[in-house]
Structure 1
Amino acid sequence: MDDNFSYLHSRKSFLVFSLLWLFLTLQISFGIWLLSGMGFHYSLLLVSVPMGIELFQLYSLKFVCKAYPLNSTSIQRLILVFFVSMFILQAIWNTSVQLWSRLLSYAMEEGIFTTVAYDYKTIFGGFGALYIFIAALFHYVVINMENVMDANRKIVQKNLELSRAELKTIRTTVHPHFLFNTLNVLSALIMKEPAVARELSMKLSNFLRYSLRYGQKDNVTLADEIKHIETYLEIEKVRFGARLNWEIDTEESLLSMTIPPLILLPVVENAVKHGIQQIIEGGTVDLKAFRDGDFIKIVVKNPFETPAAVTRGEGMGIRTLSELLKSVYGGDAAMEIFKKDNLFTVVIMLPIGNKTGI
């Protein structure tokens, strides 16, 4: 089926065309009845069959409009095509009226049908030409509207595909500094504390496995994301020791809710790198997730050292996350950042039950 003419194939559109045909048939019948003095039922009978043929002619104009689009056809060619089409369709219309009137006169032995058809052939021709013009205009308007809609759909689809590619790339990309630092710690522990090194390697393996496996999925449960965050913090704990602490408080009813994978890691990683790491005595990363109306509200807080450090408080990951939320949720999700009293706070609002489509 040609998408440009889908409006002609739906039942609703066909019903509209049929009702329009009925209205036009009654219109011409009423006019012929007033002008000729013949009975209205005779007038309706005379007009009904030719108007049925006319309806199919109006449909056929779609092929002409498709072959000669307005945006790529010269005015001269359009005028020529229009008049040729008008001539052919008018000839069919007028012939159908005359033949049908003769058939009625022969079948009903009433000469009035041929008399009226001949005497008012100009009226019939005028109505036919008017309907052809209106139908051509209708086809062109609808085709151009659907072309615009199709172009917009292609733009949206292209942007969506770019967003998907960007999102999947970021999901499967682990911060190189994190890997470099973790491998350095691991190499130092292998000889001194092999048991700790073995445990750290297991945690790193689980962390990378989650990033690669779940990073390709559309959604994961909040419980899986929290567990992934805990694995990350446990790995960093080996490097920072007592300087790094965390508190995670999640409303139990939300643990089975689904969210896009790996959207919490940039926030927590930002809290460690630009917050805890910059403070000599360290600090605590506080993560809370709870229901707020129809949203999952996630709040991540971390201390920062001095006002001068505020300019370094937002890493590339957290800045990119805001754009990714727009790509995934459109305008339904939100992220806000607050800096007050040496406390850096990120608030993420995710709609409950929203299908991301990514």
Structure 2
Amino acid sequence: MQEISSSRRGTVIYLLVWLFLGIALGGVISLASDAPLANAMLFAIPMNLLYAYAAGYSAYYLCRAYPLGSGRTAATALVLTVAAVVSGFLWLVLGRSWNGACLMLDVAWAGIAFNAQLSALIVGLGILLYGFAAAVHYLVIEFVRAKGAEQRELESLLMAQEAELRMLRTQIDPHFLFNSLNSISALTSQDPKAARRMTLELASFFRQSLGMEAHKKVTLDEELRLIRHFLAIEQVRFGARLLVEEQVDEQAAACLVPPMIIQPLVENAVKHGICNMPEGGTIRVTARRDGSILHIRVDNPVDLDMASVRSDGHGIGLTNVRQRLAGVYKHEASIHWGRIDNSFGVDIAMPAQTGEEGE
């Protein structure tokens, strides 16, 4: 009963059903006892609405106490049968009392003539209506239980997905940290000032990245600021060998992206591109918004003779980005990469979302 009465719509539907049954009972009484229709309706409708709550609450608590599938089928049937019979006779007593009150009004439109046939009809109908109430409550209880189980399963899946995304994100920081510490270690003996500058840049980088960690998505502009910080660290190491170009339109910069989704691509561009080329090269980051799609591309030069380029996509960075995109956007996002001549490029396409449009 609580599930039904918990919403206004459920309560209205429940009462309308019982009102219809009351009208039907009034019509049957009028035909069976030759009572005026108004008298029969005045007797049947209030009785039926009262029985709707009395039988409804009784059946609800019994359905709760004896749930389906509990392995007590015989006990459940016996209890509900006894309750239905008792309710039927109590409804008869209530009906006689209500009819007596109507007869006391001594008006033509109130009161009906009770007989044995009408008494049997009320008791029998009371038993059937009690069974109807029990069946309705069993259906509602099972529906609510199934819906609750589905909701809990969905919450579990979301929690598992969030844990997986968190794990994927935490893979990035140690990977980048180890590379940076190796670089600092190499610079310590060659250029102590550069090593100190790189250490300070590294501290600032992680301070900013920790601030982004609290958000599921950040603007592309924030992501690019973090990348610029990362490239400043690498430029301490590579100097003039590392050049950077950005082509990001204003609409694209305002779009939301998962934190540190581009940084692994830029890190790969440095590690597998610039690092293997004595003459260095230029890393290009481009982004544009095309309607509801955000396109991001990272290009870097590669040495054609070097076999270390992960064009097959088995590197940590590309695999991580692909899994995170799939976790956040499902099939709505894609990532493609490939090498053309002496250039390696990674293309990302994802839904273009802004703070105003909602995540």
| CA drift at 1:17 | 1.5
> Could you say if the C-alpha distance between residues 46 and 254 of structure 1 is closer, same or farther in structure 2, counting changes exceeding 3 Å?
same
Q: Where does the alignment leave 5 or more consecutive residues of structure 1 unmatched?
A: none
SS of the residue aligned with 1:115? coil
Does the CA contact (< 8 Å) of 1:97 and 1:117 recur in 2? no
Whether 1:337 and 2:310 are equivalent positions in the alignment is no
* Residue 33 (structure 1) aligned with residue 17 (structure 2): no
Structure 1 counterpart SS, 2:113: helix
Query: Where does residue 328 of structure 1 map in the other structure?
Result: 328
The one-letter amino acid of 2:296's match is I
User: What is the one-letter code of the residue matched to 2:90?
Assistant: I
1:225: how far off?
0.6
After TM superposition, give the deviation of residue 276 of structure 1 in Å. 4.5
User: Secondary structure at 2:296's aligned position in 1?
Assistant: strand
Q: CA 1:310 to 1:195, structure 2 compared with 1: closer, same or farther past 3 Å?
A: closer
Partners of 1:243 and 1:282 within 8 A in 2: yes
Residues 138-193 of structure 1: CA deviation (Å, up to 9, x unaligned): 21122112212211211221222233233334434544453233223323434543
**Alpha-carbon distance in structure 2 between the residues aligned to 1:130 and 1:74:** 22
Residue in structure 2 matched with residue 122 of structure 1 by the alignment: 120
Does residue 93 in structure 1 map to residue 91 in structure 2? Answer: yes
Q: Comparing 263-272 with 80-89, which one deviates more in the overlay? A: 263-272
Distance 1:195 1:56, change over 3 A: same
Instruction: Rate the CA distance shift 1:35–1:334 in 2: closer, same or farther, 3 A.
Output: same
Q: Tell me, yes or no, if the aligned pair for 1:290 and 1:296 is still in contact at 8 Å.
A: yes
Q: Which residue identity lines up with residue 346 of structure 1 in the other structure?
A: D
In the superposition, the TM-score normalised over structure 1's length comes to: 0.85
2:9 paired with 1:12: yes
**Whole-Å separation in 2 of the counterparts to 1:6 and 1:351:** 41
Deviation at 1:80, TM superposition (A): 1.5
Deviations 1:232-284 (A, max 9, x none): 22222333445543322211134344333222223323333345445565544
Aligned-residue offset at 1:349: 0.6
For residue 262 of structure 2, the aligned residue among 264, 286, 296 is 264
Using the TM superposition, give the Cα deviation of residue 26 of structure 1 relative to its aligned residue in structure 2, in angstroms.
1.1
Query: Does the CA-based 8 Å contact 2:313-2:319 persist in structure 1?
Result: no
1:233 maps to: 231
**Which amino acid counterpart does residue 294 of structure 1 have in structure 2?**
S
- One-letter amino acid matched to 1:143: I
**Aligned residues: CA RMSD:** 3.0
Q: Distance in 2 between matches of 1:245 and 1:106?
A: 102
- 8 Å CA contact 1:189–1:196 kept in 2: the answer is yes
The alignment of Structure 1 onto Structure 2 pairs a total of residues equal to: 352
* Deviation larger for 321-330 or 261-270: 321-330
Question: Counterpart amino acid of 1:217?
Answer: H
The separation in 2 between residues aligned to 1:45 and 1:106, in whole angstroms, is 14
Report the more deviating stretch, 190-199 or 156-165: 190-199
Question: Residues of 2 paired with 1:30 and 1:194: CA distance?
Answer: 101
**How far apart are 1:319 and its partner, in Å?**
2.0
Task: Choose which of 283, 286, 289 in structure 2 pairs with 1:288.
Answer: 286
Counterpart-to-counterpart distance in 2, 1:119 and 1:21: 23
The runs of 5 or more residues in structure 2 that have no matched partner are: none
* Equivalent-residue separation in structure 1 for 2:130 and 2:145 (angstroms): 22
Cα distance, 1:6 vs structure 2 = 3.6
- Cα pair distance change 1:191/1:305, threshold 3 Å: closer
Alignment identity in percent?
Answer: 31
Equivalent of 2:185 in 152, 174, 187 = 187
